[in-house]
Amino acid sequence: MSAVVLNGKLVADQIHAETRERISLLSANGVVPGLVFVRVGEDPASRAYVEMKEKKAKELGISSRTIVLKNSTSERDLISLLATLNEDASVHGILVQAPLPRHICEQRVFASVDPSKDVDGFHPENMGKLLLGDACGFRPCTPAGIVELLVRCGVPIQGADVVILGRGNIVGKPLAAMLCQKSKEADATVTLVHSRSRGVPEHCRRADILVAAMGQAEFVRADMVRPGATVVDVGVNRVEDQSCPRGYRLVGDVCQEEVRTVAGAITPNPGGVGPMTIAMLMANTIKAAENSVASGRL
């Protein structure tokens, strides 16, 4: 058996088409959505991610720019930049790329973005709304993209046993909060597995939907997957490989070659969760711009 491929690129393109229509409506009202990325330091992966997001924003007609700060930038200077962006009416969305240098507290920085411009969904107010099931807030893009991909591909979630590997603030925790809500697109039984969990392979084998988001190269092997299960591969890991031009290759948290022979459905990597994350970021930015029009802030 070979798993059905959950093509995130294809689904993301459908969402982008819907986003384009919303952008046309905004522009008919004289509003150009604005998105600002803030990157601190020169982490190569962060650079690549921000470039991809900014490129897509521009393609869609979102006015976007990236502010790059030195690695030595103080937390206070970063927060003061955010205060300026919060006040700028042409900026509807702000994204501070993580990880930040170690001398900067990520939580304080995320809490300094105006919640109405927090298209990343990391502000405590938006995280709180997510936990409470309040759809008015912004949902973090990667977990929102995973749910959207499952729903649009017709993977049943209601009543499913979902096992999430990894309890990070960016994916694991918010995804657990989304999938346990009382809702047709959720209603799952969620298990959050982490580095101190016992019996990890046993947990995995129980899953109808297994989400690997713990950042360990090819951690999920065929014998950890129940035949026919849906597997979502979130991680992007560099593994040394001198036969590659850059001296490394990128692999997910799932051993794709093995798991494809057992799973019923699987997200490819690349081309699965990554494009969905970007699609949700663009959709959140448009929602922020629409909200600002509705609230008369523009």
Which of 19, 64, 97, 292 is the binder for ligand GUN (CB under 6 A)?
A: 97
User: Among 104, 109, 141, 232, which residue sits at the site for ligand GUN (rule: CB under 6 A)?
Assistant: 141
Asked whether position 170 contacts ligand GUN by CB under 6 A, the answer is yes
Judged by beta carbon, residue 4 or residue 111, the one nearer ligand GUN is: 111
13 is catalytic: no
96 binds ligand GUN (CB under 6 A): yes
User: In this complex, which beta carbon is closest to ligand GUN, that of residue 8 or of residue 263?
Assistant: 8
CB of 261 vs ligand GUN, minimal distance in Å? 30
DSSP annotation string for the chain: --PEE--HHHHHHHHHHHHHHHHHHHHHTT---EEEEEEES--HHHHHHHHHHHHHHHHHT-EEEEEEE-TT--HHHHHHHHHHHHH-TT--EEEEPSPPPTTS-HHHHHTTS-GGG-TT--SHHHHHHHHHT-TTSPPPHHHHHHHHHHHHTT---TT-EEEEE---TTTHHHHHHHHTSSSTT---EEEEE-TT-S-HHHHHHH-SEEEE-S--TT-B-GGGS-TT-EEEE---EEEE-TTSTTSEEEE-SB-HHHHTTT-SEE--SSSSHHHHHHHHHHHHHHHHHHHHHHTT--
For the question of residue 158 being annotated catalytic, the response is: no
73 touches ligand GUN (CB under 6 A): no
The yes or no reply on residue 120 touching ligand GUN (CB under 6 A) is yes
Q: By CB under 6 A, is residue 95 in contact with ligand GUN?
A: yes
**Is 97 designated active site?**
yes
Question: Residue 294 Cβ, how far from ligand GUN at the closest point, in Å?
Answer: 25
User: In the bound complex, what is the minimum distance in angstroms from residue 140's beta carbon to ligand GUN?
Assistant: 6
User: Of 252 and 265, which has the nearer Cβ to ligand GUN?
Assistant: 252
Considering the complex, what minimum distance in angstroms separates the CB of residue 37 from ligand GUN? 8
Q: Which residues of this protein are in contact with ligand GUN, per CB under 6 A?
A: 95-98, 120, 141-142, 170, 277
